[in-house]
Amino acid sequence: MRSGPPLPMVDLHAHILPGIDDGPASMGESIELARALAADGVGTVAATPHLRDDHPAVVPQELAGRCKELRAALAAEGVPLDVVPGGEVDLLWAGRASDTELRLASYGQRGGHLLVETPYTPLPRHFEQLLFELEVRGFGLVLAHPERNNGFQAEPERAARLAQRGTLLQVTASSLLEPSSASGRAARALVAGGHAYLIASDVHGLGRHRRVALSEGERAAAELAPGRSSWMVREGPAAVLAGEVPEPPPDGAQRGWRRFLGLDAVRRRT
């Protein structure tokens, strides 16, 4: 067992590149956000701007250069945060994208895993088929914030089946901090049931609270899955960046995923 201080956290979902989507508007804001992430204990962040039609300034061929520019600015400011390229991929955009564009949107541009955006609109009946078509093209999938979609809230079995077939479910730290909301109940149930693989911030800026929530999300997850919570923000996301998909550690405190905080209750309350 590893001793000593915990490893730095790895945040696989953050809108930190300046001026291209709904994240920071300027390099100064990006540096401020990066400073807050580093202070929260994050050592590496994946810059994942939206790849979808309403954000035309996000160009896959420019992502590596934009990350390099941000890394240089952070080094000049003494901010100890590494930034790797990625993207949050809309399924409709992905269906039209070339394999080269998808590779440039993958984590570290390695061609391994893509971060796929769960829509906020009702899930199409063929949602799973669209995901499968990306897998057939050779990509592993990380599904961003499934807990926010009312389709998964109403039919939690759909999310569970995706996890069982190998889709890596990423829940958002802020959802875990809102246990009375529909998204919070769904996120907490996914963690408690062992279906969530990763926790990420999905941070877009500091806002009025002037903080990021990844470490708080880890602490909330520790109440539900004490054997896995640290792994979900450290070893797990680091493995995804490296192109690996290890099994999470067993969690002796894990209980039946439908009974604990009940996904049935999520259905009843939404």
Each domain of the chain, given as residue ranges in start order, spans 9-248+256-269
Three-class secondary structure of residue 257 per DSSP: coil
Q: What are the C-alpha distances in Å from 195 to residues 16, 73, 213, 218, 219? A: 27, 37, 21, 16, 18
Q: How confident is the model over 108-143, as pLDDT tens digits? A: 999 999 999 999 999 988 999 999 999 999 999 999
Q: How confident is the model over 207-250, as pLDDT tens digits? A: 855 668 999 999 999 999 999 999 999 999 999 999 998 888 88
pLDDT at 161: 95
Mean per-residue pLDDT of the chain: 90
pLDDT at 256: 37
Order of strands across the sheet that contains 113-117:
50-51, 88-89, 113-117, 140-144, 168-172, 196-200
Please say if the pLDDT value at position 198 is more than 90: yes
Assign domain 9-248+256-269 one CATH number from 1.10.260.40, 3.40.50.300, 3.40.50.261, 3.20.20.140: 3.20.20.140
pLDDT at 247: 87
pTM for this predicted structure: 0.90
